[in-house]
């Protein structure tokens, strides 16, 4: 048990709607994955604010909670709590009462089915792949020969999982489809039975009852036939359990399942799956001969986007299928490895260039895990919030993927997609592919590093701000007290004060301009005003502006000026600059109903504030728990008196970054 994650697990279950809203739960390398009855019950904003949760995603009907590399420990506690709920009678009805396939479109069903089937196989495939890599190293270094008994033994250690792959795929597919995994495994074992292999090798026609022909096909290392078989078996078994009396179900359901599915597998479904697999192999061959660069470039450049939307779960099995069909993978592996290394280097570049201590820690840790093949911490913790590392990673991954594709680089086993995976590219008694992947990774690293470094000059900003310069840029025309600290928001939401520029009595007069910059009142993601969940603001009747979906509750002044309006509840402030620009900061929607709860130390009406100075500390969790959106709304209320108001930012911003420009 992972007791220290019990509280986190309990909170996650509660925020996704409770045990009764969860159809099934499983995990991959970094994420908890939930199939939910009603996604509308998920309190997404609160989940994203929960300590221990990196972010959330809803892809293809599966709600994902990104945790990190310790996800299994969290899942153990989630699983324990769900089992306890089921034991106490509080769990939801069986999924069999409403099959997933009846609730989703066909494409979603296929993607979820394939992804859910292969996820449990990753550790076994990775372990076997690394043994194959070790064997390749031992052979090319002349430590052992392929004729030695040591090679033969280690070889079947590694190849066992691939030869018996249909059985493991059957178990994974059965778990995904909520059917009996043991019965599915036995049907797969029938297709691998030595006697059947012997009949196929003999080449003589085989008939069941002297009438039904059985095509002579071997199924070792295949994937598609057994997935098709288990899909059909899930319906057959469900029907049998419904029509056969409970008193004889234990005997007759397995017996009839074996007879029906064994016959269908050997006469119809297996050959159909083999036919489809043959065409898939032909497609792989066509790509290898005519466009070897395409898969590696696409995966190398777009893998971060694929991960965000969960598409990689549907693409990665193509590499496994290619490996099973032709003995190597050039579809997914090379591009994936190039992309991961590019993400690692881009993230390390952020760690070097950023001035934010907290972000530097996150970037350093994320860069290390990406180097080992786990990119979610780097992607969600650094690349997406900062944007430019994502651009750099895609450029580097695409460049390295292009080289890997043009040189027909391939891996000979499935394993991790980090630095240790380079040994998977030793095979065919040559070091050619090993050398090529090293060159491809070097290209990815160099391109990603250079692009990230160059872009950092535009995207990275120094947190400390000089008071006189700041107010000149804001165009407020104010006389600023130099001993009043200017506050900016760091990545972790903490306040970072700039040191006074002079003595407590000194002043610096800003220069009046015809342009005023209005900055973000909180760190978060900028959204268009018409997307704000409040009709009055969204219609623009209150004035032009933007909304910010906050990541913390530190609400700061977007301009320097006088607070001419401050409601008692502390959720809204009107600020008038000395140049006559009226700005409204409204925290949350309908938060007046909270009557001040969740808002701490608001500045009073009549107070003089400097851009970046704290207006109020808002408890985002309290706001959302009360049923209100936490969107922070920023509008210019006297826009009619100005020449124009222009939005100058989009996406993620830090508090204090310009988001609006007012021309007077």
The Cα diameter of the chain in Å comes to 106
Strands (E), 262-353: none
Catalytic residues: 28, 586
Residue 19 — φ and ψ, nearest 5°?
-55, -35
The SS3 call for residue 526 is strand
Give the count of beta carbons closer than 10 Å to the beta carbon of residue 148: 13
Long-range contacts of residues 454-457, Cβ cutoff 8 Å, at least 24 apart: 455/388, 455/391, 455/392, 456/349, 456/350, 456/353, 456/388
Structure tokens at 306: 């694929």
Burial of 106 (0-12, 13-18, 19+ CB in 10 A): exposed
Alpha-carbon span 328 to 322, nearest angstrom? 6
Please give the full DSSP string across 78-101, using - where no structure is assigned: HHHHHHHHHHTT-SPPPGGGS-GG
Q: How far apart are CA 445 and CA 450, in angstroms?
A: 8
The answer to whether 115 and 59 have CB atoms below 8 angstroms apart is no
The neighbour count for residue 164, using CB atoms within 10 Å, is: 17
Residues contacting 244, CB < 8 A, separation 6+: 252, 253, 256
Distance of alpha carbon 269 from the chain centroid = 35
Backbone phi, psi, residue 138, to 5°: -65, -35
Q: Give 504's Cβ-side CA count (13 Å radius).
A: 0
Distance CA 558, CA 522 (A): 9
Could you tell me if 25 and 32 are in contact, meaning their C-beta atoms sit under 8 angstroms apart?
Answer: yes
For 655, the 3-state DSSP assignment is coil
Measured CA to CA, the distance from residue 173 to residue 88 in angstroms comes to 29
CA nearest neighbour of 183 among 224, 113, 114, 232: 232
Cα 446 to its chain centre, rounded Å, is 25
Per the CB < 8 A criterion, the answer to whether 636 and 642 are in contact is yes
Q: Which residues contact 635 (CB under 8 A, 6 or more apart)?
A: 529, 537, 542, 543, 544, 545, 583, 584, 586
575 strand-pairing partners: 563, 583
Helix (H) or strand (E) holding 182: helix 181-192
Residue 659 · residue 649 · CB < 8 Å: yes
Phi, psi values for residue 638, rounded to 5°: -115, 45
Q: DSSP letters of 606-648?
A: T-EE-TT-EEEEE-HHHHHHTT----EEEEETTGGGSSEEEE-
Q: Distance between the two ends of the chain, CA-based, in angstroms?
A: 63
Query: The sheet that has 614-618: what strands, in order across it?
Result: 554-556, 614-618, 599-600
Instruction: Enter the DSSP assignment of 381.
Output: I
Residue 25 CA to residue 86 CA, distance in Å, equals 13
């Amino acid at each position: 048990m992972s007791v220290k994650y019990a509280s986190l697990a309990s909170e996650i279950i509660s925020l996704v709607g409770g045990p009764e809203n969860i159809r099934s739960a499983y995990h991959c390398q970094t994420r908890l994955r939930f199939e939910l009855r009603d996604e509308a019950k998920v309190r997404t904003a609160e989940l994203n604010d929960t300590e221990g949760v990196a972010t959330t995603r809803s892809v293809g009907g599966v709600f994902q909670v990104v945790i990190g590399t310790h996800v299994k420990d969290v899942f153990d506690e989630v699983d324990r709590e769900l089992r306890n709920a089921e034991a106490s009678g509080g769990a939801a009805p069986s999924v069999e009462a409403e099959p997933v396939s009846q609730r989703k479109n066909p494409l979603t069903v296929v993607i979820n089915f394939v992804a859910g089937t292969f996820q449990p196989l990753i550790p076994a495939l990775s372990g076997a792949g690394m043994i194959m890599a070790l064997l390749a190293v031992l052979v090319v270094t002349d430590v052992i020969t392929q004729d030695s008994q040591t090679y033969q033994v280690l070889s079947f250690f590694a190849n066992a999982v691939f030869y018996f792959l249909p059985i493991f795929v059957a178990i994974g597919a059965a778990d995904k489809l909520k059917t009996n995994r043991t019965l599915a495994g036995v049907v797969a074992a029938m297709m691998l039975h030595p006697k059947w292999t012997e009949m196929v090798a003999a080449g003589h026609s085989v008939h069941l009852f002297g009438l039904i022909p059985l095509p002579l096909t071997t199924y070792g290392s295949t994937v598609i036939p057994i997935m098709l078989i288990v899909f059909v078996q899930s319906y057959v078994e469900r029907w049998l359990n419904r029509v056969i009396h409970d008193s004889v179900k234990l005997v007759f359901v397995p017996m009839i399942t074996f007879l029906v599915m064994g016959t269908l597998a050997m006469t119809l479904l297996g050959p159909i799956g083999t036919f489809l697999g043959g065409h898939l192999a032909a497609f792989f061959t066509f790509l290898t001969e005519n466009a070897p660069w395409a898969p590696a470039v696409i995966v190398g450049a777009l893998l971060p986007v694929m991960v965000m939307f969960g598409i990689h779960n549907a693409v990665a099995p193509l590499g496994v299928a290619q490996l099973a069909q032709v003995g190597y993978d050039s579809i997914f592996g090379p591009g994936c490895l190039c992309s991961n290394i590019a993400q690692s280097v881009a993230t390390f570049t952020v760690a070097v260039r950023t001035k934010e201590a907290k972000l530097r820690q996150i970037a350093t840790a994320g860069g290390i895990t990406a180097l080992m093949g786990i990119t979610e911490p780097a992607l969600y913790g650094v690349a997406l919030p900062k944007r430019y590392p994502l651009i750099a990673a895609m450029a580097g991954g695409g460049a390295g993927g292009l080289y890997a594709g043009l040189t027909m680089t391939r891996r000979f086993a499935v394993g991790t997609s980090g630095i240790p995976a380079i040994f998977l590219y030793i095979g065919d008694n040559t070091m050619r592919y090993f050398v090529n992947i090293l060159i491809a990774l070097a290209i990815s690293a160099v391109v990603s590093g250079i692009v990230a470094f160059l872009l950092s000059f535009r995207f990275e900003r120094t947190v400390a701000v000089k008071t006189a310069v700041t107010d000149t840029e804001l165009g407020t025309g104010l006389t600023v007290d130099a001993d009043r600290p200017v506050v900016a928001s760091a990545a972790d939401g903490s306040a970072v004060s700039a040191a006074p520029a002079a003595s407590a009595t000194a002043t610096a007069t800003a220069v009046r301009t015809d342009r005023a910059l209005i900055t973000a009142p909180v760190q978060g993601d900028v959204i268009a005003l018409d997307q704000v969940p409040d009709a009055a603001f969204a219609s623009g009747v209150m004035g032009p502006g933007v909304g910010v979906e906050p990541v913390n509750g530190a609400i700061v002044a977007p301009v320097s000026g006088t607070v001419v309006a401050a409601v008692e509840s502390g959720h809204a402030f009107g600020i008038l600059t000395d140049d006559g620009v009226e700005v409204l900061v409204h925290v949350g929607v309908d938060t007046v109903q909270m009557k001040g709860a969740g808002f701490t130390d608001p500045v009073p009406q009549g107070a003089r504030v400097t851009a970046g100075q704290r207006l109020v500390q808002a408890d985002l969790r309290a706001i959302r728990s009360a049923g209100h959106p936490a969107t922070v709304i920023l509008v210019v209320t006297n826009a009619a008196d100005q020449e124009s108001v222009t939005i100058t930012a989009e996406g993620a911003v830090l508090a204090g970054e310009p988001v609006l420009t007012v021309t007077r």
